Amino acid sequence: MSVNITFPDGNQKSFEGPVTGLSIAQGISPGLAKKAALVAVDGELWDLTRPIDRDATISIITRDKPEALETIRHDAAHVMAQAVQELFAGTQITFGPSTEYGFYYDFARAEPFTEADLEKIEQKMREIVKRDLPITREVWSHEAAVAHFEKAGEKFKAEWIRDGIKADETLTIYRQGDQWLDMCLGPHLPSTGRLGTAFKLTKVSGAYWRGDAKNAQLQRIYGLAFANDDELKAHLKMIEEAEKRDHRRLGRQLDLFHIQDEAIGQVFWHPKGWAIYRTLENYVRKQLDEAGYVEVKTPLLVDRKLWEESGHWENYRKNMFIAEVDEGEVAGVARKAMLAVKPMNCPCHVQIFKQGIRSYRDLPLRMAEFGACHRYEPSGALHGLMRVRGFVQDDAHIFCTEDQIAAETVAFCDLLTRMYKDLGFESVRIKFSDRPESRAGDDAIWDKAEGALRNAVEQTGLPYTMNPGEGAFYGPKLEFVLRDAIGRDWQCGTLQVDFVVPERLGAEYVTEDGSKKTPVMLHRAVLGSFERFIGILIEQHAGAFPMWLAPVQAVVAPIVSDADEYATKVCAELRKAGIRAESDLRNEKINYKIREHATQKIPVIVVVGRKEAEEGTVTLRFRGEERQETLPLAQALQRLLA
């Protein structure tokens, strides 16, 4: 048989019989064949060794391409699973997908894996890579697959096939060498040798079969994998730097906050942490005032009825905290009310909009709130300030006409990028999240909302990428992703176009011709939550906050006790000028004081001695700088306030 292959440049070539991506790559050049990882056949990724038995358009995917990285990581999971079973007889395999930076695999084993075991497994993986075992794809019947895994004692695999795959369906098996195999959709590399050595096992944790705590407990081994050793080393260096910047460790070291079991997922802010919080809140409030927002405050507990009307009860109930209260008796019948602690602010803002008659002249109405919200997050998902149950959003809702969507989006993007720059983030990426599978509103509404948002973001001139199916249940959204000082991405700001909730809650305005119309509601936030954003800021700056945001901006440290009175006066003058200052009058040597305050990341240490007291001067030592300046006190104040 003859197979006609079309290449990306439009050229065509005919091959006799089924041909593989690997043989095509070898025919082009040995170098390409060596670098090849996969072949795209009519846009679908295939194994290089899978026969192409039809006319097709193909492209060779080399291992340095992003498309190949997921396969490299998936291969690493399979090689790890083979290594585990070679080392620990009787261990059952379940599933092992690729992740953002690597892979994991879940195992059923009576004995717990140890750190020493990870070293053995990683060494065995390198042996399997050296063997360069061929990886081959096979198609099995449902019956044959169940029979094989049951005979092999792999009860989890057998159960998955019986319960999750129809009896008349076939499934694919990938074999590594002659002995080891796993059920998998693929694709995979041609051999274990193609995996390379850029992988590292990192930790063991618990997991449940099928993610259900009622099922058997498994052990999950995590690993990292990259296309080459340099990328792995760079990532490991980033992890090392991230550990130094961990906001939980710095929160303790700098005495900013703590979290305890009596209030799971909620933050106890200490004075220094609260100083950062208030400074940030005041900054945001100033930006919103200048941008024409009005600030409101809405209740924390709201009756279930409102959440049902808005659609949140149906779509968000599992994440809501509920309070049932006794409201007394009516006609001898006990009356109870079911209240929800608000997980978001939008339905409450609609209630304010509905008070009185709104005119088209009132629009756009930009309504902001530093809204306290609570969401149930599983305890295992909580992570310091980054993921909590109680938080405050810099939330706002813009009620506007359809014609105003684009202008409000452009204005918001300008505000957001300016604020991020002020906060030390230069790089911002935008993701466009369209309709999710579970949503409110018909397709016509979603077509209109997505079209309006796409037109608006294109008018900003900012580039964006698609994030399919990740919109809110009521509308599409833009997600704004920051990149921090060590290259990590954080999704913070959002802008959502909502035609659904204001209509469901009966919001209306009077149009120019006197008719009534439902406003569009733009949900928007810049920081997201204060708690999480402060966690990001701690890690971004490694605790060494810029002067304006530092909880303690200056410490006045006398060299000798004779200068204590002058130090107290200097501290008072700094505070009067609006500088957050403290004095250190302890009977310690000045070098000891300087070292200690340096570990506390204080931006400025103001040193005073007998000479400074006599002359009315101070000596300024700036964080991270060798130089110091001796200035008259008035001039020093100007210098610090500049």
Return the biggest CA–CA distance within the chain: 101
Quickly state the pLDDT bin for 438 (edges 50, 70, 90).
confident
Selected catalytic residue, list 245, 272, 397, 504: 397
Q: Is residue 414 part of a domain?
A: yes
Together in a domain, 110 and 179: yes
Pair 188, 314 in one domain: no
Sequence-distant (6+) residues with CB within 8 A of 230 are none
Catalytic residue among 75, 106, 182, 395: 395
Asked if residue 575 is part of any domain, the answer here is: yes
Q: Is 477 a catalytic residue?
A: yes
Same domain, 507 and 530: yes
Residues β-bridged to residue 8: none
Same domain for 54 and 100, yes or no, is: no
Q: Which token pair is 163?
A: 């319960």
Let me know if 188 is a catalytic residue.
Answer: no
Across residues 533-556, what is the average pLDDT?
96
Q: Tell whether 344 is covered by a domain.
A: yes
Name the catalytic one among 78, 188, 358, 375. Answer: 375
Same domain flag for 485 and 516? yes
Rounded-to-integer distance, Cα 397 and Cα 501, Å:
12
DSSP string, 435-504: --SS-SS-HHHHHHHHHHHHHHHHHHT---EE-TT-SBTTB-EEEEEEE-TTS-EEEEEEEEEESSHHHH
| Domain match, 466 and 611 both | no
Are the C-beta atoms of residues 275 and 553 closer than 8 Å to each other? no
Q: Which of 188, 342, 504, 523 is catalytic?
A: 523
> Taking the CA of residue 583 as centre, how many other CA atoms within 13 Å lie in the half-sphere pointing to its CB?
19
**Measured distance CA(595)–CA(593) in Å, rounded:** 6
Instruction: Specify whether 346 is catalytic.
Output: yes
pTM score of the predicted model: 0.83
Of residues 85, 393, 404, 553, which has the active-site annotation? 393
- Position 380 confidence tier, pLDDT thresholds 50, 70, 90: confident
The percent of residues in the chain predicted with pLDDT above 70, rounded, is 99
Q: Give yes or no: 393 in active site.
A: yes
Give dist(CA 534, CA 530) in Å, integer: 6
Catalytic one among 50, 312, 477, 532?
477
Tell me which of 62, 86, 114 is where a domain ends. Answer: 62
Q: Catalytic residue among 184, 346, 413, 571, which?
A: 346
314 pLDDT band, cuts 50/70/90, is confident
Mean pLDDT across 622-640: 92
pLDDT at residue 332, as a whole number: 64
251 located within any domain: no
Q: Is the pLDDT of residue 93 over 70?
A: yes
What totals of helices (H) and strands (E) does the chain contain, helices first? 20, 32
pLDDT score recorded for residue 331? 63
Average pLDDT of the residues in 271-294: 97
235 assigned ligand-binding residue? no
Of 10-14, 279-283, 299-303, 354-358, the one with minimum mean pLDDT is: 10-14
pLDDT for position 17: 76
Q: Compute the distance between CA of residue 381 and CA of residue 622 in angstroms, rounded to an integer.
A: 39
188 annotated as belonging to a binding site for a ligand: no
Average per-residue pLDDT for the chain:
93
CATH (domain of 592): 3.40.50.800
Query: Which residue range(s) make up the domain with 569?
Result: 554-641
**Beta-strand relationship, 135-141 and 170-176:** antiparallel
Quick one: CA dihedral 304, 309, 310, 315, positive or negative?
positive
Domain containing 516 — which CATH number? 3.30.930.10
What's the whole-number mean pLDDT along residues 244-248? 95
**pLDDT tens for each residue of 137-196:** 999 999 999 999 999 999 999 999 998 888 888 999 999 999 899 999 999 999 999 999
Which range scores top for mean pLDDT: 265-274, 458-467, 488-497? 265-274
- Whether 94 and 9 share a structural domain: no
Q: Is residue 241 part of a domain?
A: no
d(CA 533, CA 419): 13
Q: Which residue has the higher pLDDT, 527 or 642?
A: 527
How many structural domains compose the chain?
A: 4
Per-residue confidence (pLDDT) for residue 213, from 0 to 100: 85
CATH, residue 137:
3.30.980.10
Is position 582 within any domain?
A: yes
- 199-208 and 217-225 as β-strands: parallel, antiparallel, unpaired? antiparallel
In a shared domain, residues 459 and 560: no
Domain presence at residue 243: no
- 361 DSSP 8-state letter: G
Q: What is the pLDDT of residues 18-27, one digit of tens each?
A: 899 999 999 9
Question: Is 397 annotated in some ligand binding site?
Answer: yes
Q: Give 496's strand partners.
A: 477, 523
| Same-domain pairing of 49 and 73 | no
Last residue of a domain, one of 62, 83, 110: 62
| pLDDT at site 517 | 96
- For residue 31, the domain's CATH number is 3.10.20.30
237 is catalytic: no
**d(Cα 391, Cα 377) in Å, to the nearest integer?**
12
Domain boundary among 219, 236, 253: 236
- Contacts (Cβ under 8 Å, ≥6 apart) of 55: 3, 4, 5, 6
Question: Is residue 514 domain-shared with residue 583, that is, in the same domain?
Answer: no
Q: What is the pLDDT of residue 315?
A: 83
Distances (CA, A) of 174 to 20, 49, 145, 177, 378: 17, 12, 12, 10, 35
Rama region for 502: left / alpha / beta (φ>0; ψ in -120 to 50; rest): alpha
CA–CA separation, 351 vs 368, rounded Å? Answer: 14
Distance CA 571, CA 556 (A): 6
Domain co-membership, 427 together with 316: yes
435 is annotated as an active-site residue: no
Whether 374 and 393 map to the same domain: the answer is yes
Q: Is residue 357 part of a domain?
A: yes
Alpha helices in 40-114 (DSSP H): 66-87
